[in-house]
Structure 1
Amino acid sequence: MLGLIETKKEAVTTYDVVQLWGAGAVKWEYVGSIGASGGLLLVWDETVFKMNNCYKGSRWLCVEGVLLRNNFSCAFCLVYGPHDRRGKLDTWEELSFLYGLCQAPFCYLGDFNEITQLEDRKGINSLPVSAVEFKDWIQDMELVDLELTDRLFTWFRGESCSRIDRALVSLEWLEVFPETRLRGGPRGLSDHCPLIMEASQVRGGPRPFRSLDSWFTHDGYLRMVKEEWRALGDRQFMDKLKALTSPLSRWHKKNFGDMDKRITQFEDELKKVDDLTGAGVADGTVEARRKALVSCCKKWYIRQELH
Protein backbone atom coordinates (compact mmCIF):
# COMPACT_ATOMS: atom_id res chain seq x y z
CA MET A 1 0.00 0.00 0.00
CA LEU A 2 1.44 3.36 -1.06
CA GLY A 3 0.00 6.62 0.21
CA LEU A 4 0.88 10.05 -1.18
CA ILE A 5 -0.13 13.36 0.39
CA GLU A 6 -0.31 16.75 -1.33
CA THR A 7 -0.35 15.33 -4.84
CA LYS A 8 -1.42 18.78 -6.11
CA LYS A 9 -3.47 17.01 -8.80
CA GLU A 10 -7.17 17.64 -9.30
CA ALA A 11 -7.48 14.28 -11.07
CA VAL A 12 -5.26 11.18 -11.08
CA THR A 13 -5.05 9.11 -14.27
CA THR A 14 -3.91 5.58 -15.10
CA TYR A 15 -0.80 7.12 -16.63
CA ASP A 16 0.04 8.86 -13.35
CA VAL A 17 -0.33 5.64 -11.36
CA VAL A 18 1.70 3.52 -13.79
CA GLN A 19 4.47 6.13 -13.65
CA LEU A 20 4.58 5.68 -9.87
CA TRP A 21 3.86 1.98 -9.51
CA GLY A 22 4.79 0.39 -12.81
CA ALA A 23 2.68 -2.06 -14.77
CA GLY A 24 0.86 -4.84 -12.97
CA ALA A 25 -2.20 -5.62 -10.90
CA VAL A 26 -2.62 -2.12 -9.50
CA LYS A 27 -5.68 -0.36 -8.06
CA TRP A 28 -6.00 3.12 -6.63
CA GLU A 29 -8.32 5.75 -5.16
CA TYR A 30 -7.73 9.48 -4.82
CA VAL A 31 -9.07 12.74 -3.44
CA GLY A 32 -8.42 15.54 -5.89
CA SER A 33 -6.63 18.71 -4.93
CA ILE A 34 -8.24 22.14 -4.97
CA GLY A 35 -6.10 23.83 -7.57
CA ALA A 36 -2.52 23.18 -6.46
CA SER A 37 -3.52 22.66 -2.82
CA GLY A 38 -3.81 19.23 -1.22
CA GLY A 39 -4.65 15.95 -2.93
CA LEU A 40 -4.47 12.34 -1.62
CA LEU A 41 -3.67 9.09 -3.38
CA LEU A 42 -3.69 5.45 -2.23
CA VAL A 43 -2.23 2.77 -4.52
CA TRP A 44 -2.08 -0.98 -3.90
CA ASP A 45 -1.46 -4.38 -5.47
CA GLU A 46 -4.86 -5.97 -6.08
CA THR A 47 -3.33 -9.44 -5.66
CA VAL A 48 -2.50 -8.46 -2.06
CA PHE A 49 -5.44 -6.27 -1.01
CA LYS A 50 -9.04 -6.40 -2.24
CA MET A 51 -11.05 -3.24 -1.63
CA ASN A 52 -14.68 -3.62 -0.60
CA ASN A 53 -15.55 0.01 0.19
CA CYS A 54 -14.01 3.43 -0.24
CA TYR A 55 -14.82 6.57 1.76
CA LYS A 56 -13.56 10.06 1.04
CA GLY A 57 -13.36 13.37 2.87
CA SER A 58 -11.64 16.61 2.03
CA ARG A 59 -8.77 15.70 4.38
CA TRP A 60 -8.79 11.90 4.35
CA LEU A 61 -9.11 8.86 2.08
CA CYS A 62 -10.12 5.45 3.43
CA VAL A 63 -10.19 2.03 1.75
CA GLU A 64 -11.77 -0.91 3.59
CA GLY A 65 -11.21 -4.47 2.42
CA VAL A 66 -9.29 -7.72 2.87
CA LEU A 67 -5.60 -8.65 2.89
CA LEU A 68 -5.80 -11.76 0.75
CA ARG A 69 -2.79 -13.60 2.15
CA ASN A 70 -4.39 -14.19 5.54
CA ASN A 71 -8.00 -13.14 4.80
CA PHE A 72 -7.60 -10.21 7.23
CA SER A 73 -10.39 -7.62 7.07
CA CYS A 74 -9.02 -4.13 7.78
CA ALA A 75 -9.10 -0.48 6.78
CA PHE A 76 -6.39 1.97 5.73
CA CYS A 77 -6.97 5.70 6.04
CA LEU A 78 -4.61 8.31 4.61
CA VAL A 79 -4.83 11.62 6.50
CA TYR A 80 -3.71 15.18 5.73
CA GLY A 81 -4.50 17.18 8.85
CA PRO A 82 -5.52 20.85 8.76
CA HIS A 83 -3.32 23.54 10.30
CA ASP A 84 -6.02 25.29 12.33
CA ARG A 85 -7.47 23.95 15.57
CA ARG A 86 -11.12 24.05 14.45
CA GLY A 87 -10.27 22.13 11.30
CA LYS A 88 -8.36 19.52 13.30
CA LEU A 89 -11.27 18.93 15.68
CA ASP A 90 -13.66 18.49 12.76
CA THR A 91 -11.28 16.06 11.04
CA TRP A 92 -10.79 13.91 14.16
CA GLU A 93 -14.56 13.73 14.59
CA GLU A 94 -14.90 12.51 11.00
CA LEU A 95 -12.17 9.91 11.56
CA SER A 96 -13.99 8.67 14.67
CA PHE A 97 -17.20 8.24 12.66
CA LEU A 98 -15.23 6.38 9.98
CA TYR A 99 -13.82 3.99 12.57
CA GLY A 100 -17.31 3.09 13.72
CA LEU A 101 -18.57 2.79 10.14
CA CYS A 102 -15.93 0.24 9.07
CA GLN A 103 -15.99 -1.88 12.24
CA ALA A 104 -12.57 -3.37 11.34
CA PRO A 105 -8.97 -3.21 12.53
CA PHE A 106 -7.75 0.24 11.50
CA CYS A 107 -4.55 1.91 10.34
CA TYR A 108 -4.49 5.72 10.10
CA LEU A 109 -1.36 7.10 8.52
CA GLY A 110 -0.18 10.38 7.11
CA ASP A 111 0.58 14.00 7.99
CA PHE A 112 -1.59 14.92 10.98
CA ASN A 113 -0.03 18.39 11.31
CA GLU A 114 0.07 17.87 15.08
CA ILE A 115 2.44 16.70 17.80
CA THR A 116 1.68 14.71 20.95
CA GLN A 117 4.65 15.49 23.21
CA LEU A 118 7.30 18.17 23.73
CA GLU A 119 9.97 16.02 22.13
CA ASP A 120 8.03 16.08 18.84
CA ARG A 121 8.98 19.69 18.13
CA LYS A 122 12.32 21.41 18.57
CA GLY A 123 12.48 24.44 20.83
CA ILE A 124 9.10 24.39 22.62
CA ASN A 125 8.45 24.35 26.38
CA SER A 126 4.72 23.60 26.45
CA LEU A 127 2.19 21.73 24.35
CA PRO A 128 -0.40 23.73 22.39
CA VAL A 129 -4.02 23.05 23.26
CA SER A 130 -4.58 21.23 19.95
CA ALA A 131 -1.74 18.82 20.77
CA VAL A 132 -3.32 17.90 24.12
CA GLU A 133 -6.66 17.39 22.35
CA PHE A 134 -5.03 15.22 19.69
CA LYS A 135 -3.36 13.06 22.33
CA ASP A 136 -6.69 12.69 24.14
CA TRP A 137 -8.37 11.68 20.87
CA ILE A 138 -5.78 8.96 20.28
CA GLN A 139 -6.36 7.59 23.78
CA ASP A 140 -10.16 7.76 23.48
CA MET A 141 -9.98 5.85 20.20
CA GLU A 142 -7.68 3.24 21.85
CA LEU A 143 -5.15 3.67 19.08
CA VAL A 144 -1.44 2.95 19.31
CA ASP A 145 0.87 5.70 18.05
CA LEU A 146 3.67 3.61 16.52
CA GLU A 147 7.12 4.59 17.71
CA LEU A 148 9.44 5.97 15.04
CA THR A 149 12.57 3.91 15.50
CA ASP A 150 15.27 5.77 13.59
CA ARG A 151 14.71 9.54 13.88
CA LEU A 152 13.23 12.24 16.10
CA PHE A 153 11.58 14.44 13.46
CA THR A 154 9.79 13.91 10.15
CA TRP A 155 9.38 17.50 8.93
CA PHE A 156 12.08 20.13 8.39
CA ARG A 157 11.97 23.70 7.19
CA GLY A 158 15.03 25.82 7.80
CA GLU A 159 15.88 25.26 11.46
CA SER A 160 12.33 24.19 12.38
CA CYS A 161 11.80 20.47 13.03
CA SER A 162 8.71 18.51 14.06
CA ARG A 163 7.31 15.02 14.13
CA ILE A 164 3.89 15.54 12.56
CA ASP A 165 3.81 12.42 10.35
CA ARG A 166 2.74 9.22 12.09
CA ALA A 167 0.90 5.90 11.90
CA LEU A 168 -1.89 5.05 14.35
CA VAL A 169 -3.17 1.45 14.54
CA SER A 170 -5.95 -0.19 16.54
CA LEU A 171 -5.34 -2.84 19.16
CA GLU A 172 -7.06 -5.38 16.91
CA TRP A 173 -4.46 -4.61 14.24
CA LEU A 174 -1.61 -5.37 16.64
CA GLU A 175 -3.23 -8.63 17.69
CA VAL A 176 -2.76 -9.87 14.12
CA PHE A 177 0.48 -7.99 13.36
CA PRO A 178 2.24 -7.67 16.75
CA GLU A 179 5.59 -6.94 15.10
CA THR A 180 4.39 -3.84 13.25
CA ARG A 181 7.26 -1.34 13.02
CA LEU A 182 7.60 2.22 11.73
CA ARG A 183 10.70 3.85 10.31
CA GLY A 184 11.53 6.94 8.30
CA GLY A 185 12.80 6.86 4.75
CA PRO A 186 15.29 9.31 3.22
CA ARG A 187 13.90 12.84 2.97
CA GLY A 188 15.67 13.63 -0.27
CA LEU A 189 14.16 16.71 -1.91
CA SER A 190 11.05 16.98 0.29
CA ASP A 191 10.28 18.81 3.55
CA HIS A 192 8.91 15.50 4.89
CA CYS A 193 10.47 12.11 5.49
CA PRO A 194 8.40 9.26 4.04
CA LEU A 195 7.10 6.77 6.60
CA ILE A 196 7.59 3.05 6.03
CA MET A 197 5.38 0.71 8.04
CA GLU A 198 6.43 -2.93 8.11
CA ALA A 199 4.20 -5.65 9.54
CA SER A 200 6.78 -8.36 8.91
CA GLN A 201 10.09 -8.84 7.17
CA VAL A 202 9.55 -10.46 3.76
CA ARG A 203 12.61 -11.58 1.91
CA GLY A 204 12.31 -12.28 -1.79
CA GLY A 205 14.73 -13.45 -4.44
CA PRO A 206 17.19 -11.35 -6.41
CA ARG A 207 15.79 -8.31 -8.17
CA PRO A 208 15.47 -8.75 -11.94
CA PHE A 209 17.55 -6.61 -14.28
CA ARG A 210 14.95 -4.64 -16.23
CA SER A 211 16.57 -1.84 -18.20
CA LEU A 212 19.81 -0.14 -19.10
CA ASP A 213 18.31 3.26 -19.96
CA SER A 214 20.25 4.65 -17.00
CA TRP A 215 23.50 4.23 -18.92
CA PHE A 216 22.56 7.14 -21.17
CA THR A 217 22.65 9.50 -18.17
CA HIS A 218 26.41 8.95 -17.93
CA ASP A 219 28.49 11.34 -20.04
CA GLY A 220 31.06 8.69 -20.92
CA TYR A 221 28.71 5.91 -22.05
CA LEU A 222 28.42 6.63 -25.78
CA ARG A 223 32.10 7.43 -26.05
CA MET A 224 32.99 4.09 -24.45
CA VAL A 225 30.65 2.18 -26.80
CA LYS A 226 32.11 3.86 -29.90
CA GLU A 227 35.67 3.10 -28.82
CA GLU A 228 34.92 -0.55 -28.02
CA TRP A 229 32.94 -0.99 -31.24
CA ARG A 230 35.79 0.35 -33.38
CA ALA A 231 38.27 -1.88 -31.56
CA LEU A 232 36.29 -4.97 -32.59
CA GLY A 233 37.19 -4.37 -36.25
CA ASP A 234 35.40 -6.07 -39.14
CA ARG A 235 33.59 -8.86 -37.34
CA GLN A 236 30.01 -9.77 -38.18
CA PHE A 237 27.41 -7.49 -36.58
CA MET A 238 25.98 -10.14 -34.19
CA ASP A 239 29.48 -11.26 -33.22
CA LYS A 240 30.40 -7.68 -32.36
CA LEU A 241 27.29 -7.33 -30.20
CA LYS A 242 28.20 -10.49 -28.29
CA ALA A 243 31.80 -9.32 -27.90
CA LEU A 244 30.57 -5.96 -26.60
CA THR A 245 28.95 -7.71 -23.63
CA SER A 246 32.18 -8.06 -21.63
CA PRO A 247 33.36 -4.41 -21.80
CA LEU A 248 29.80 -3.24 -21.13
CA SER A 249 29.64 -5.47 -18.06
CA ARG A 250 32.94 -4.11 -16.74
CA TRP A 251 31.89 -0.50 -17.43
CA HIS A 252 28.52 -1.04 -15.74
CA LYS A 253 30.14 -2.54 -12.65
CA LYS A 254 32.57 0.37 -12.39
CA ASN A 255 30.00 3.16 -12.89
CA PHE A 256 26.67 1.69 -11.73
CA GLY A 257 27.47 -1.45 -9.80
CA ASP A 258 27.41 0.32 -6.43
CA MET A 259 24.48 2.63 -7.27
CA ASP A 260 22.45 1.72 -4.19
CA LYS A 261 25.51 2.10 -1.98
CA ARG A 262 26.28 5.55 -3.37
CA ILE A 263 22.69 6.70 -2.89
CA THR A 264 22.66 5.30 0.65
CA GLN A 265 25.86 7.21 1.44
CA PHE A 266 24.34 10.47 0.17
CA GLU A 267 21.12 9.81 2.12
CA ASP A 268 23.12 9.05 5.27
CA GLU A 269 24.97 12.34 4.87
CA LEU A 270 21.65 14.16 4.39
CA LYS A 271 20.33 12.57 7.59
CA LYS A 272 23.43 13.81 9.45
CA VAL A 273 22.70 17.32 8.17
CA ASP A 274 19.07 16.98 9.33
CA ASP A 275 20.28 15.79 12.74
CA LEU A 276 22.53 18.85 13.02
CA THR A 277 19.57 21.07 12.15
CA GLY A 278 17.45 19.25 14.72
CA ALA A 279 20.15 19.77 17.35
CA GLY A 280 20.25 23.50 16.59
CA VAL A 281 23.85 23.61 15.33
CA ALA A 282 23.10 24.34 11.67
CA ASP A 283 24.69 27.33 9.95
CA GLY A 284 25.30 28.57 6.42
CA THR A 285 27.96 25.93 5.82
CA VAL A 286 25.59 23.14 6.80
CA GLU A 287 22.87 24.48 4.51
CA ALA A 288 25.34 24.78 1.63
CA ARG A 289 26.39 21.18 2.20
CA ARG A 290 22.76 20.08 2.14
CA LYS A 291 22.20 21.83 -1.21
CA ALA A 292 25.24 20.06 -2.67
CA LEU A 293 24.08 16.70 -1.34
CA VAL A 294 20.56 17.26 -2.71
CA SER A 295 22.05 17.97 -6.15
CA CYS A 296 24.04 14.72 -6.06
CA CYS A 297 21.04 12.76 -4.78
CA LYS A 298 18.84 14.12 -7.54
CA LYS A 299 21.28 12.95 -10.20
CA TRP A 300 21.52 9.45 -8.74
CA TYR A 301 17.76 9.19 -8.08
CA ILE A 302 17.18 9.85 -11.80
CA ARG A 303 19.71 7.19 -12.74
CA GLN A 304 18.22 4.72 -10.33
CA GLU A 305 14.66 5.35 -11.54
CA LEU A 306 15.66 4.87 -15.18
CA HIS A 307 17.66 1.76 -14.27
Structure 2
Amino acid sequence: MGDFNEIVQVEERRGADTLPLTAEDFKNWVHDMGVVDLLITNRKFTWFKGRSCSRIDRVLVSLEWLENFSETRMRGGPRGLSDHCPIIVEERRRSDGPRPFRSLDSWFTHEDFLRLVKEEWRGLGEAPFTDKLKALTVPLGRWHKNNFGNMDKTIMKFEKEIKKIDEMVGDGVYDGTMEARRKALVTCCEKWYVRKELHWKQMSRSRHTKDIDKNTRYFHNLASARRRNNRIDELLINGRLIRNQARIKIAVRDFYKNLYHQEESPLVGFRDGLVEMIDEDDALALEVQPNPQEIKEAV
Protein backbone atom coordinates (compact mmCIF):
# COMPACT_ATOMS: atom_id res chain seq x y z
CA MET A 1 0.00 0.00 0.00
CA GLY A 2 1.14 3.53 -0.69
CA ASP A 3 1.68 6.13 -3.41
CA PHE A 4 2.04 4.33 -6.78
CA ASN A 5 1.99 7.65 -8.67
CA GLU A 6 -0.22 6.14 -11.39
CA ILE A 7 -3.88 6.13 -12.37
CA VAL A 8 -5.67 3.22 -14.07
CA GLN A 9 -8.88 4.98 -15.13
CA VAL A 10 -9.53 8.39 -16.66
CA GLU A 11 -11.97 9.22 -13.84
CA GLU A 12 -9.13 8.95 -11.33
CA ARG A 13 -7.62 12.28 -12.44
CA ARG A 14 -9.63 15.48 -12.63
CA GLY A 15 -9.73 16.96 -16.11
CA ALA A 16 -8.04 13.97 -17.76
CA ASP A 17 -9.36 12.82 -21.15
CA THR A 18 -6.91 9.98 -21.86
CA LEU A 19 -4.76 7.58 -19.89
CA PRO A 20 -0.97 7.98 -19.92
CA LEU A 21 1.03 5.27 -21.68
CA THR A 22 2.38 4.04 -18.36
CA ALA A 23 -1.15 3.29 -17.08
CA GLU A 24 -1.52 0.22 -19.32
CA ASP A 25 1.84 -1.12 -18.13
CA PHE A 26 0.77 -0.64 -14.52
CA LYS A 27 -2.58 -2.42 -15.08
CA ASN A 28 -0.80 -5.34 -16.78
CA TRP A 29 1.64 -5.57 -13.89
CA VAL A 30 -1.22 -5.68 -11.36
CA HIS A 31 -2.89 -8.45 -13.38
CA ASP A 32 0.31 -10.45 -13.83
CA MET A 33 1.04 -10.29 -10.10
CA GLY A 34 -2.40 -11.78 -9.36
CA VAL A 35 -3.33 -9.06 -6.88
CA VAL A 36 -6.52 -7.05 -6.47
CA ASP A 37 -6.63 -3.25 -6.36
CA LEU A 38 -9.02 -2.33 -3.55
CA LEU A 39 -11.41 0.49 -4.42
CA ILE A 40 -11.70 3.40 -2.06
CA THR A 41 -15.17 3.66 -0.53
CA ASN A 42 -15.59 7.23 0.70
CA ARG A 43 -13.72 9.59 -1.63
CA LYS A 44 -12.78 9.97 -5.28
CA PHE A 45 -9.21 11.37 -5.04
CA THR A 46 -6.33 10.84 -2.62
CA TRP A 47 -3.77 13.43 -3.81
CA PHE A 48 -4.28 17.18 -4.16
CA LYS A 49 -2.10 20.00 -5.40
CA GLY A 50 -3.80 23.28 -6.26
CA ARG A 51 -6.56 22.42 -8.72
CA SER A 52 -5.02 19.04 -9.55
CA CYS A 53 -6.58 15.94 -8.00
CA SER A 54 -5.73 12.27 -8.58
CA ARG A 55 -6.26 8.88 -7.06
CA ILE A 56 -2.70 7.54 -6.98
CA ASP A 57 -2.61 6.01 -3.48
CA ARG A 58 -3.55 2.34 -3.58
CA VAL A 59 -3.75 -0.89 -1.65
CA LEU A 60 -2.92 -4.08 -3.57
CA VAL A 61 -3.81 -7.31 -1.76
CA SER A 62 -3.05 -10.89 -2.68
CA LEU A 63 -5.66 -13.57 -3.21
CA GLU A 64 -4.51 -15.25 0.01
CA TRP A 65 -5.25 -12.02 1.90
CA LEU A 66 -8.78 -11.83 0.50
CA GLU A 67 -9.42 -15.46 1.39
CA ASN A 68 -8.46 -14.82 5.01
CA PHE A 69 -9.93 -11.30 5.28
CA SER A 70 -12.91 -11.43 2.92
CA GLU A 71 -14.45 -8.18 4.22
CA THR A 72 -11.38 -6.00 3.65
CA ARG A 73 -12.31 -2.39 2.82
CA MET A 74 -10.27 0.73 2.09
CA ARG A 75 -11.16 4.33 2.90
CA GLY A 76 -9.38 7.65 2.97
CA GLY A 77 -8.89 9.71 6.09
CA PRO A 78 -8.78 13.53 6.44
CA ARG A 79 -5.90 15.12 4.49
CA GLY A 80 -4.97 17.81 6.99
CA LEU A 81 -1.77 19.65 6.00
CA SER A 82 -0.53 16.89 3.68
CA ASP A 83 -1.08 16.69 -0.08
CA HIS A 84 -2.04 12.99 0.36
CA CYS A 85 -4.96 11.45 2.24
CA PRO A 86 -4.02 8.69 4.67
CA ILE A 87 -5.24 5.26 3.55
CA ILE A 88 -7.07 3.13 6.10
CA VAL A 89 -7.58 -0.60 5.54
CA GLU A 90 -10.13 -2.30 7.77
CA GLU A 91 -12.35 -5.35 7.88
CA ARG A 92 -16.09 -4.79 8.31
CA ARG A 93 -18.54 -7.63 8.66
CA ARG A 94 -22.17 -6.75 8.03
CA SER A 95 -25.23 -8.24 6.45
CA ASP A 96 -25.92 -7.41 2.82
CA GLY A 97 -29.68 -7.84 3.23
CA PRO A 98 -31.91 -9.58 0.70
CA ARG A 99 -30.51 -10.14 -2.79
CA PRO A 100 -32.37 -9.46 -6.05
CA PHE A 101 -33.39 -12.22 -8.46
CA ARG A 102 -30.55 -13.28 -10.76
CA SER A 103 -30.03 -15.97 -13.35
CA LEU A 104 -26.69 -17.57 -14.16
CA ASP A 105 -25.38 -17.91 -17.71
CA SER A 106 -24.17 -21.42 -16.91
CA TRP A 107 -27.77 -22.57 -16.35
CA PHE A 108 -28.58 -22.05 -20.03
CA THR A 109 -25.94 -24.63 -21.00
CA HIS A 110 -27.89 -27.37 -19.18
CA GLU A 111 -30.47 -29.24 -21.24
CA ASP A 112 -33.02 -29.39 -18.38
CA PHE A 113 -32.99 -25.71 -17.38
CA LEU A 114 -35.54 -24.21 -19.80
CA ARG A 115 -37.86 -27.18 -19.37
CA LEU A 116 -37.82 -26.69 -15.59
CA VAL A 117 -38.54 -22.97 -15.90
CA LYS A 118 -41.47 -23.52 -18.30
CA GLU A 119 -43.06 -26.16 -16.07
CA GLU A 120 -42.67 -24.11 -12.88
CA TRP A 121 -43.87 -20.92 -14.60
CA ARG A 122 -47.05 -22.60 -15.89
CA GLY A 123 -47.72 -24.03 -12.45
CA LEU A 124 -47.77 -20.54 -10.91
CA GLY A 125 -50.85 -19.62 -12.95
CA GLU A 126 -51.90 -15.97 -13.23
CA ALA A 127 -49.84 -14.65 -10.32
CA PRO A 128 -48.15 -11.23 -10.73
CA PHE A 129 -44.82 -11.28 -12.58
CA THR A 130 -42.70 -10.27 -9.56
CA ASP A 131 -44.40 -12.88 -7.37
CA LYS A 132 -43.61 -15.53 -10.00
CA LEU A 133 -39.93 -14.56 -9.98
CA LYS A 134 -39.85 -14.73 -6.21
CA ALA A 135 -41.54 -18.14 -6.18
CA LEU A 136 -39.22 -19.39 -8.93
CA THR A 137 -36.13 -18.90 -6.76
CA VAL A 138 -37.06 -21.89 -4.55
CA PRO A 139 -37.15 -24.63 -7.23
CA LEU A 140 -34.25 -22.98 -9.06
CA GLY A 141 -32.21 -23.04 -5.86
CA ARG A 142 -32.85 -26.76 -5.40
CA TRP A 143 -32.13 -27.44 -9.07
CA HIS A 144 -28.88 -25.44 -8.94
CA LYS A 145 -27.73 -27.29 -5.82
CA ASN A 146 -28.46 -30.69 -7.39
CA ASN A 147 -26.87 -29.92 -10.77
CA PHE A 148 -24.25 -27.23 -10.11
CA GLY A 149 -23.67 -27.61 -6.38
CA ASN A 150 -20.26 -29.26 -6.76
CA MET A 151 -18.89 -28.69 -10.24
CA ASP A 152 -15.34 -29.54 -9.16
CA LYS A 153 -16.45 -32.96 -7.95
CA THR A 154 -18.32 -33.60 -11.23
CA ILE A 155 -15.28 -32.62 -13.31
CA MET A 156 -13.00 -34.75 -11.15
CA LYS A 157 -15.28 -37.76 -11.67
CA PHE A 158 -15.07 -37.44 -15.46
CA GLU A 159 -11.29 -36.91 -15.32
CA LYS A 160 -10.86 -40.09 -13.24
CA GLU A 161 -12.86 -42.10 -15.77
CA ILE A 162 -10.78 -40.70 -18.63
CA LYS A 163 -7.57 -41.50 -16.77
CA LYS A 164 -8.77 -45.05 -16.08
CA ILE A 165 -9.39 -45.64 -19.79
CA ASP A 166 -5.96 -44.21 -20.68
CA GLU A 167 -4.32 -46.57 -18.18
CA MET A 168 -6.17 -49.55 -19.67
CA VAL A 169 -5.04 -48.56 -23.18
CA GLY A 170 -1.49 -48.21 -21.84
CA ASP A 171 -1.73 -51.79 -20.53
CA GLY A 172 -2.72 -53.04 -23.99
CA VAL A 173 -6.47 -53.32 -23.40
CA TYR A 174 -8.27 -51.59 -26.24
CA ASP A 175 -11.41 -51.89 -28.34
CA GLY A 176 -13.74 -49.59 -30.26
CA THR A 177 -16.21 -49.16 -27.41
CA MET A 178 -13.49 -47.81 -25.10
CA GLU A 179 -12.56 -45.12 -27.61
CA ALA A 180 -16.21 -44.12 -28.04
CA ARG A 181 -16.64 -43.96 -24.25
CA ARG A 182 -13.52 -41.84 -23.89
CA LYS A 183 -14.79 -39.35 -26.49
CA ALA A 184 -18.14 -39.12 -24.68
CA LEU A 185 -16.41 -38.53 -21.34
CA VAL A 186 -14.17 -35.82 -22.83
CA THR A 187 -17.22 -34.07 -24.31
CA CYS A 188 -19.02 -34.09 -20.96
CA CYS A 189 -15.91 -32.91 -19.13
CA GLU A 190 -15.47 -30.00 -21.56
CA LYS A 191 -19.09 -28.97 -20.99
CA TRP A 192 -18.51 -28.75 -17.26
CA TYR A 193 -15.29 -26.79 -17.75
CA VAL A 194 -17.25 -24.26 -19.80
CA ARG A 195 -20.05 -24.10 -17.22
CA LYS A 196 -17.57 -23.51 -14.43
CA GLU A 197 -15.79 -20.73 -16.29
CA LEU A 198 -19.08 -19.10 -17.34
CA HIS A 199 -20.15 -19.10 -13.71
CA TRP A 200 -17.05 -17.41 -12.34
CA LYS A 201 -16.69 -15.08 -15.30
CA GLN A 202 -20.21 -13.80 -14.67
CA MET A 203 -19.64 -13.54 -10.94
CA SER A 204 -16.44 -11.54 -11.38
CA ARG A 205 -17.45 -9.55 -14.51
CA SER A 206 -13.71 -9.42 -15.11
CA ARG A 207 -12.26 -7.76 -18.18
CA HIS A 208 -9.10 -9.79 -17.75
CA THR A 209 -10.60 -13.07 -18.92
CA LYS A 210 -9.22 -14.27 -22.24
CA ASP A 211 -10.01 -17.52 -24.04
CA ILE A 212 -11.79 -18.97 -20.97
CA ASP A 213 -8.87 -18.78 -18.58
CA LYS A 214 -8.95 -21.63 -16.05
CA ASN A 215 -7.80 -19.39 -13.16
CA THR A 216 -11.16 -19.55 -11.35
CA ARG A 217 -9.60 -18.73 -7.98
CA TYR A 218 -8.66 -15.30 -9.32
CA PHE A 219 -12.19 -14.72 -10.63
CA HIS A 220 -13.72 -15.92 -7.36
CA ASN A 221 -11.81 -13.30 -5.39
CA LEU A 222 -12.63 -10.59 -7.92
CA ALA A 223 -16.31 -11.42 -7.45
CA SER A 224 -15.92 -11.10 -3.69
CA ALA A 225 -14.10 -7.79 -4.09
CA ARG A 226 -16.86 -6.47 -6.35
CA ARG A 227 -19.52 -7.25 -3.75
CA ARG A 228 -17.50 -5.39 -1.11
CA ASN A 229 -16.97 -2.36 -3.33
CA ASN A 230 -20.64 -2.12 -4.29
CA ARG A 231 -21.78 -1.66 -0.72
CA ILE A 232 -22.75 1.78 0.55
CA ASP A 233 -21.11 2.40 3.92
CA GLU A 234 -22.27 5.98 4.31
CA LEU A 235 -24.59 8.40 2.55
CA LEU A 236 -25.02 12.17 2.66
CA ILE A 237 -28.73 12.80 3.29
CA ASN A 238 -29.96 16.39 3.55
CA GLY A 239 -26.49 17.54 4.53
CA ARG A 240 -25.99 14.87 7.22
CA LEU A 241 -23.62 11.92 6.89
CA ILE A 242 -25.54 8.74 7.70
CA ARG A 243 -23.80 5.43 8.48
CA ASN A 244 -26.78 3.48 9.84
CA GLN A 245 -27.56 0.75 7.28
CA ALA A 246 -31.29 0.69 8.00
CA ARG A 247 -31.60 4.46 7.44
CA ILE A 248 -29.49 4.24 4.26
CA LYS A 249 -31.81 1.55 2.83
CA ILE A 250 -34.90 3.61 3.65
CA ALA A 251 -33.38 6.74 2.05
CA VAL A 252 -32.44 4.88 -1.15
CA ARG A 253 -35.89 3.27 -1.40
CA ASP A 254 -37.69 6.60 -0.83
CA PHE A 255 -35.48 8.35 -3.41
CA TYR A 256 -36.35 5.93 -6.22
CA LYS A 257 -39.96 5.70 -5.08
CA ASN A 258 -40.30 9.47 -5.49
CA LEU A 259 -38.30 9.44 -8.71
CA TYR A 260 -40.46 6.86 -10.49
CA HIS A 261 -43.89 7.47 -8.98
CA GLN A 262 -46.78 8.28 -11.30
CA GLU A 263 -47.60 11.96 -11.34
CA GLU A 264 -51.23 12.93 -11.14
CA SER A 265 -52.42 14.68 -14.31
CA PRO A 266 -55.33 17.11 -14.14
CA LEU A 267 -58.47 15.94 -15.90
CA VAL A 268 -59.01 18.03 -19.01
CA GLY A 269 -62.62 18.54 -20.09
CA PHE A 270 -64.09 20.16 -23.19
CA ARG A 271 -66.76 22.78 -22.93
CA ASP A 272 -69.84 22.47 -25.10
CA GLY A 273 -69.14 23.93 -28.50
CA LEU A 274 -65.35 24.10 -28.02
CA VAL A 275 -64.78 21.10 -30.32
CA GLU A 276 -66.88 20.83 -33.44
CA MET A 277 -68.07 17.46 -34.73
CA ILE A 278 -66.45 16.47 -38.03
CA ASP A 279 -68.57 15.24 -40.89
CA GLU A 280 -68.92 11.62 -41.93
CA ASP A 281 -66.49 11.84 -44.88
CA ASP A 282 -63.68 13.20 -42.70
CA ALA A 283 -64.37 10.54 -40.07
CA LEU A 284 -64.08 7.76 -42.66
CA ALA A 285 -60.92 9.30 -44.11
CA LEU A 286 -59.26 9.17 -40.67
CA GLU A 287 -59.85 5.41 -40.44
CA VAL A 288 -58.54 4.52 -43.91
CA GLN A 289 -55.30 2.52 -43.90
CA PRO A 290 -52.41 4.52 -45.48
CA ASN A 291 -51.18 3.20 -48.80
CA PRO A 292 -47.50 2.37 -49.47
CA GLN A 293 -46.95 5.61 -51.42
CA GLU A 294 -48.18 7.73 -48.49
CA ILE A 295 -45.90 5.85 -46.11
CA LYS A 296 -42.93 6.30 -48.44
CA GLU A 297 -43.56 10.05 -48.72
CA ALA A 298 -43.92 10.40 -44.97
CA VAL A 299 -40.67 8.50 -44.31
Q: TM-score, normalised by structure 2?
A: 0.31
Structure with greater proportional strand content: 1
Structure with greater proportional helix content: 2
Structure showing greater relative contact order (alpha-carbon pairs closer than 8 Å, 6 or more residues apart) = 2
Q: TM-score, normalised by structure 1?
A: 0.30
Q: Which has the larger radius of gyration?
A: 2
